[in-house]
């Protein structure tokens, strides 16, 4: 149900090699303020080892850079679902992906802080 709502939401941004989608949800649908879905599609990364490594790197980049985003969400008392999609055909370099994640988190934090 949350995934259907997430992918039908018009909120999306592209920060190559990541694409993000998000939607706001009711507090009754989730106990956590932020839920994250990480996607590394088989169409782009054919080997399971590459997909797993990519998801691991994305998860670590998010973990290291999520604080400003989570702070704004908690301050505004919102609940949000995020989908981080890897859209490149090669396994990522940690530093390039982290630079993209920093931009992504900054943009999303700005967007959420301007949300009603």
7/53 Cα distance (integer angstroms): 24
pLDDT on residue 50: 94
Q: How far apart are CA 68 and CA 43, in angstroms?
A: 32
pTM: 0.89
CATH 3.30.230.10 fits 2-113, yes or no: yes
Which pLDDT belongs to residue 116?
A: 65
**What pLDDT score does 68 carry?**
94
Q: What pLDDT is attached to residue 26? A: 85
CA separation for the pair 20, 84 (Å, rounded): 5
* pLDDT value of residue 98: 94
* Bond from prior residue into 17 cis (ω within 30 degrees of 0): yes
In order along its 116 residues, the chain shows pLDDT tens digits of: 788 888 888 888 888 899 999 998 888 887 889 999 999 999 999 999 999 999 999 999 999 999 999 999 999 888 999 999 999 999 889 999 999 999 999 999 999 888 76
- The pLDDT of residue 66: 94
Quickly list H helices, 9-93: 48-65, 67-75
Q: What is the pLDDT of residue 96?
A: 92
Domain layout of the chain by residue ranges: 2-113
Q: Which two tokens stand for residue 58?
A: 């994305």
Provide φ and ψ at 22, rounded to 5°: -150, 155
Q: What are phi and psi of 88, to 5 degrees?
A: -100, 165
């Amino acid at each position: 149900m949350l995934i259907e709502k997430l992918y039908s939401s018009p909120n999306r941004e592209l920060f190559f090699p990541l694409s993000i989608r998000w939607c706001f949800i009711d507090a009754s649908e989730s106990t956590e303020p932020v839920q994250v879905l990480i996607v590394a599609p088989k169409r782009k990364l054919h080997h399971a080892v590459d997909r797993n490594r990519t998801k691991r790197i994305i998860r670590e980049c998010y973990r290291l850079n999520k604080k400003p985003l989570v702070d704004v969400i908690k301050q505004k008392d919102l609940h949000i679902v995020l989908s981080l999609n890897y859209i490149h055909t090669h396994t990522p370099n940690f530093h390039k992906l982290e630079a993209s994640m920093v931009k992504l988190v900054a943009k999303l934090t700005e967007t959420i802080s301007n949300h009603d």
